[in-house]
Structure 1
């Protein structure tokens, strides 16, 4: 079997260092291990190195380009410190359990591919393993390590057994890079979360690098260190634009405009790699960059729908296969996106995607071949792409935008029920964009009815009843101690069994100006001393109220009940709950006023004299 020198070197380093500790081999048997490992591991590394070395962009859909030709270094922040990629790699052996968070389009997946290559080519003997979690449809009774083992070890007669593979992972001899936790189907996300936390807790040497959009659940991953992908600075945006395979004259003109003034005016958009790329596409067609993200996506879609091929200096117009007007195409695409989004489907076999497209066309009463529509999605508007034998969204944010378009059209479905379900995905932007597109519809059909259901409960409570209020309106809270570097313990609140379909928490994303200050961090001086925590845990009834591990505070959990109001009201937590209560009341007043004004102006509009 012929393998690339890069793969041979990678496996040889691994075998040399871990032949004895993991495989129990020594002498001549140890020297032959690298050769033997190629039987099962080389195919995975040959394929993955090739996939990571070349990428497709929103612009270069027809062919992949070398990753180094377009890659701009990623910067991260953690614990108020800025890190470059080398700093991050240096921390891996020491930190071990890492979460990399960032918004949609921030470049997390591209960073993970670049990280995989850096580790594969670097001095470390550990083997990097990159797993795209969106491929996990169901784990069933399988564990994540079993799933990964059978995904990467190919062929019969495995030299490395599943037991040895698990031992290598748990010893830190293999680095698990788990990309896209937020793309895991919702029904298995919590079991996977519990498994990863348990794996880390029971195996302190294991290296886990998990990427995701921001999610409040990570606050309870106590032994993991969170790293945030930083927005691109102006210099990095200009570098990215100049690297993109686009018509040179337009590319250079846009880069100069970004450097001169556009970045300062539209930093929130241009600091995101995906949105910056989309802006380049729309730059020639639209003179201004909109302030609303949904208008920006709309302009990008229109540009892609009507565009000429800007990879060619002269340009030529791409053929469209489905004979549909742009509004018909967009409606069908929005039906396809919402139907797959609610099922948490981000990648498909060809038969699956054709079936979903056919269902969307029937729903929109459009007579068009699903295969023609699919070709347009891949070749003409570049919303989908082929990835090996599968078909995926170019970026998941497209699926979210067109799902929001479907909702905003006031479809003949149970809209309130659909929005209830979508609110369980707080890290996504579907409802936020739908509210921007059609605020009166979303407020009238969903937000106001939900507020009228919840606010009578909110009004029952007053200042000094923090846990009573929180338990009745938000969910069940627990207090867990988090140990800091100086030895002190900081209280960490976690919520479970959320009430009202998580709506009270979700509403803060829709009206952030009314929740200003509510979610600010606790003061640095607000610590619960060790003795108080131990006393509370020891005095609490066992079982349903407390969970205390042997060896002290770390890992302990104190469930909070209304009877804890008396002592909790003296903490800073009580202040935050009170601010939250007042914010909910303010949202109620705001939305009631907004809906009444919409109804009034609507009536006045219809009564206008001819």
Structure 2
């Protein structure tokens, strides 16, 4: 830790040079303390592999690349190893990536890199903490980062400090904002970046949350790992003393029979999961949901290192593996649909007590269960006074597992509630549950088709029939396309409908890109779609709205036939027992 102490002292000197004209010594010291706290928090990290003790970020981090957002830029790869170089061309960046693509890890690296390169003053905000915060984004920075009240720093001084620039704000996890504050928080982010435009900003999110439509931001997405990076990633995760294990893992990955699964392993989280489970499961499963199951199995029989045999750490709660899984399923279902991604002990105790009240067969002490979750199994991680899953996708997996494990009546009730987010064409609500939906359909395709897809297509058809102005059906078409891409992209009978929806989406994006108008005000570039572009998009909506409406009845009919044939085939198989 001496290394970090020295860094904080040197950073204080830099802050004095940067801000001493307007701030006194105590405020500079507060900023230096914040930098020391956050540098340490980002420099030492736990991962799904290194889950018992934090390790240095540079010891395991495989540098990731990004590219301009959109299908037309797949061959472009932009290095993220230097904050200064990354922000030279763009001072407002949205970084989009699917679950486990490495967005938050890139932010951790860029944060520490800013300090290492003495490039501006980084400020990191995990946006999920705004869900329980009663004030604005500005208030959060004022209270939690600058400690303005404690330092007698008034708004005028703070505004002057922020207006000078010199900061890089990393706003991580837009998709983790709860729906009841998302609209307000989006406006606050937009207003803050306009008001204090001399600073740099990087905002991360899963795709399709509409954050990519913020006009002044340049959109980028995280590149998948290529073959060489997969090799480097594996070798970085495993100690040098265990090279034999690394070689065996790479041998399994590179087998010809596993070529079709490479799309899974190009995702850093799923690749980490495969490394974690390799000693128990040396195969590459064809489904993401199987990865998560194997991860839970491996975590339950915790390996303290790659080289040790399984070490069964004492479970204080006395629950069996099946009971642990059951609690996790119920807890994840409740917390996920409450849009809770960070849990304090009050929340945890309330949910645990509710589980024991409803599930009378489950008996445990809350403190012992929480200790098991954080120490024996490492399925939750403690961050200060709060707890989180090592990755949000684990919460999504257990929530989906709860739904598919229900009896028919209860499952129908659960699907009916989930359908409400589809029925309302709530794009943000749908897009932030993309991984949940993909895991759900992997485990219960028939149930999803019966209870979600067919009703959604029928509802979409009825809605398109009832609207008078197709130029305003953009949200309907976008919701339908994204839902089908997430759930049924490989279902042949929907290929015609999907092709047409993707064609619509490509045209819409191109129209937006071709009709962007750039304006300059106070040295800053703003972007908006020209009136002519807006009119073209309305015409596009009109054309494709009518076209999709004409295709929906056939798609619904084919799905019902497919469903009927699947049910009949199962009945036939069951009847074979009588013969």
Range of TM-score over shorter length: 0.7 to 0.9
Contact 1:410–1:441 (CA under 8 A) maintained in structure 2: no
Uncovered stretches (5+) of structure 1, i.e. residues with no partner: 24-32, 462-466, 478-494, 534-551
What displacement does 1:188 show? 0.8
Q: Which moved more, 1:198-207 or 1:288-297?
A: 198-207
Q: Paired residue for 1:360, among 330, 355, 361?
A: 355
- Give the SS at the match of 1:214: coil
What displacement does 1:76 show? 0.8
Matches within 5 A, 1:276-287: 276-287=271-282
Q: What is the alpha-carbon distance in structure 1 between the residues aligned to residue 146 and residue 277 of structure 2?
A: 44
Q: Paired residue for 1:518, among 498, 501, 504?
A: 501
**Corresponding position of 1:343:** 338
Matches within 5 A, 1:151-550: 151-154=144-147, 158=151, 160-245=153-238, 248=242, 249-258=244-253, 264-311=259-306, 313=308, 315-365=310-360, 366-410=362-406, 412=410, 414-421=413-420, 423=422, 424-428=429-433, 429-458=435-464, 468-469=469-470, 471=472, 474=473, 495=475, 506-513=483-490, 514=495, 515-516=498-499, 518-520=501-503, 521-522=506-507
Q: What is the alpha-carbon distance in structure 2 between the residues aligned to residue 393 and residue 527 of structure 1?
A: 38
**Corresponding position of 2:32:** 42
Contact 1:332–1:360 (CA under 8 A) maintained in structure 2: yes
- Give the SS at the match of 1:99: strand
Q: Paired residue for 2:125, among 131, 134, 139?
A: 131
Q: Which moved more, 1:251-260 or 1:106-115?
A: 251-260
Q: What is the alpha-carbon distance in structure 2 between the residues aligned to residue 88 and residue 174 of structure 1?
A: 12
Query: TM-score normalized by structure 1?
Result: 0.79
- Give the SS at the match of 2:198: coil
Q: What is the alpha-carbon distance in structure 2 between the residues aligned to residue 234 and residue 85 of structure 1?
A: 18
Q: Which moved more, 1:48-57 or 1:417-426?
A: 417-426
Contact 2:341–2:388 (CA under 8 A) maintained in structure 1: yes
Contact 1:138–1:188 (CA under 8 A) maintained in structure 2: no
Matches within 5 A, 1:41-190: 41-78=31-68, 80=73, 81-86=76-81, 89-124=84-119, 126-140=120-134, 142-154=135-147, 158=151, 160-190=153-183
What displacement does 1:229 show? 1.1
Residues 18-64 of structure 1 deviation map (CA, whole Å, 9 limit, x = unaligned): 444xx2xxxxxxxxx57433442232122111111101121222211
Q: What is the alpha-carbon distance in structure 1 between the residues aligned to residue 553 and residue 183 of structure 2?
A: 31
- Give the SS at the match of 2:453: helix
- Give the SS at the match of 1:211: strand
Q: What is the alpha-carbon distance in structure 2 between the residues aligned to residue 358 and residue 43 of structure 1?
A: 39
Judged with a 3 Å threshold, the aligned counterparts in structure 2 of structure 1 residues 78 and 89 are, in CA distance, closer, same or farther, namely farther
What displacement does 1:181 show? 0.9
Judged with a 3 Å threshold, the aligned counterparts in structure 2 of structure 1 residues 355 and 553 are, in CA distance, closer, same or farther, namely closer
Judged with a 3 Å threshold, the aligned counterparts in structure 2 of structure 1 residues 580 and 198 are, in CA distance, closer, same or farther, namely farther
Contact 2:301–2:311 (CA under 8 A) maintained in structure 1: no
Contact 1:175–1:207 (CA under 8 A) maintained in structure 2: yes
What displacement does 1:449 show? 3.0
Q: What is the alpha-carbon distance in structure 2 between the residues aligned to residue 69 and residue 330 of structure 1?
A: 32
Q: What is the alpha-carbon distance in structure 2 between the residues aligned to residue 350 and residue 527 of structure 1?
A: 46
Uncovered stretches (5+) of structure 2, i.e. residues with no partner: 423-428, 518-524
Q: Paired residue for 2:561, among 593, 602, 609?
A: 593
Judged with a 3 Å threshold, the aligned counterparts in structure 2 of structure 1 residues 405 and 210 are, in CA distance, closer, same or farther, namely same
Structure that is richer in helix per residue: 2
Contact 1:10–1:127 (CA under 8 A) maintained in structure 2: no
- Give the SS at the match of 2:381: strand
Contact 2:171–2:201 (CA under 8 A) maintained in structure 1: yes
What displacement does 1:437 show? 0.6
**Corresponding position of 2:6:** 5
Residues 62-117 of structure 1 deviation map (CA, whole Å, 9 limit, x = unaligned): 21111111111111112633211246532425421111111111111111111111
Instruction: Name which one, 1 or 2, has greater alpha-carbon Rg.
Output: 1
Contact 1:504–1:584 (CA under 8 A) maintained in structure 2: no
Q: What is the alpha-carbon distance in structure 2 between the residues aligned to residue 598 and residue 146 of structure 1?
A: 55
Contact 1:331–1:364 (CA under 8 A) maintained in structure 2: no
Could you say what the CA RMSD is over the residues aligned between the two structures, in angstroms?
3.5
Contact 1:96–1:206 (CA under 8 A) maintained in structure 2: yes
Q: What is the alpha-carbon distance in structure 2 between the residues aligned to residue 153 and residue 529 of structure 1?
A: 42
What displacement does 1:442 show? 2.3
What displacement does 1:340 show? 0.4
Judged with a 3 Å threshold, the aligned counterparts in structure 2 of structure 1 residues 525 and 252 are, in CA distance, closer, same or farther, namely closer
Contact 2:148–2:154 (CA under 8 A) maintained in structure 1: no
Q: What is the alpha-carbon distance in structure 2 between the residues aligned to residue 143 and residue 402 of structure 1?
A: 32
What displacement does 1:17 show? 3.5
Contact 1:337–1:399 (CA under 8 A) maintained in structure 2: yes
- Give the SS at the match of 2:375: helix
- Give the SS at the match of 2:430: coil
Query: TM-score normalized by structure 2?
Result: 0.83
